[in-house]
Amino acid sequence: MRFDIKHVIAVMSGKGGVGKSSITALLAVGARKQGFSSGVLDADITGPSIPKMFGLKKYDHGQRFAPAESSLGIKIMSLNLLLLNEDDPVIWRGPLIGRAVGQFWGDVDWGDLDYLFIDLPPGTADAPLTVMQTIPLDGLVIVSSPQGLAVMVVKKALKMARSMNVPVLGLVENMSYFACPQCQAKVEIFGSLKGEKVARATGVPYLGNLPLDPNLAGCCDSGRIESYNSDLFLKLLNCQQQIKGKENVIP
């Protein structure tokens, strides 16, 4: 399959439950709203959530293995788009998972894209390993939360990326606090913010934090993620423009 994708960025958390998929979606939406063509490869084969966020369900891709398109024109490929029912489980061993990820990259007609974001599953096993070994990544965005447990596992992801010689483009601390709708006081539900400190200690650019936002949760659940405004992609863009020696990563 012939296609032209200028920049491929994977989103990794190491630990589940920190909002990796929503960060992936926000980056793809942000890129599209800035005028770039973008897509999402959902490599979370056994726990895909990207289609639901964009309001997409099972579709007929015809004779060519083409991705679905969101209302903004974001191209999306996920195993959940190929299942008979979106809540059907995928009970596969590692080799099948790796093969599916490879097919989503090599056999899908992505066409021409400025950015392709890859939503990786938690951990450092089959799917992340397949992506890092077989797909020409420009780098990773790491997602964490303030919990000490999450930070510990995030460091595993950072070490995996470095052992595979994949650049880490930045770290995002998600679910950093909840702002009271009445008094606007910030409540650090998962503990004090640690993202900036971890980024500094590990030499990774810090892309900022995102609060717990009921509006974002509602947009994800109702398939309206494209209606949510976020400056996360711009932060990634600006951060990379400031780093010397990063040519050909971000235009």
Q: Which helix (H) or strand (E) holds 233?
A: helix 232-241
CB 76 within 8 A of CB 122: no
pLDDT tens sequence across 144-166:
988 887 788 888 889 999 999 99
pTM over 0.85: yes
What pLDDT score does 165 carry?
93
What pLDDT score does 2 carry?
64
CB 56 within 8 A of CB 107: no
What pLDDT score does 70 carry?
96
For the chain, what is the mean pLDDT?
Answer: 89
What pLDDT score does 101 carry?
94
Amino acid identity for residue 1 in this structure:
M
DSSP secondary structure, 115-181, as one string: EEEEEPPSSSSHHHHHHHHHS--SEEEEEE-SSHHHHHHHHHHHHHHHHTT--EEEEEE-S--EE-T
d(CA 213, CA 81): 27
User: pLDDT below 50 — which residues of the chain?
Assistant: 244-251
Which residue ranges form the domains of the chain, and what is each CATH number? 4-241 (3.40.50.300)
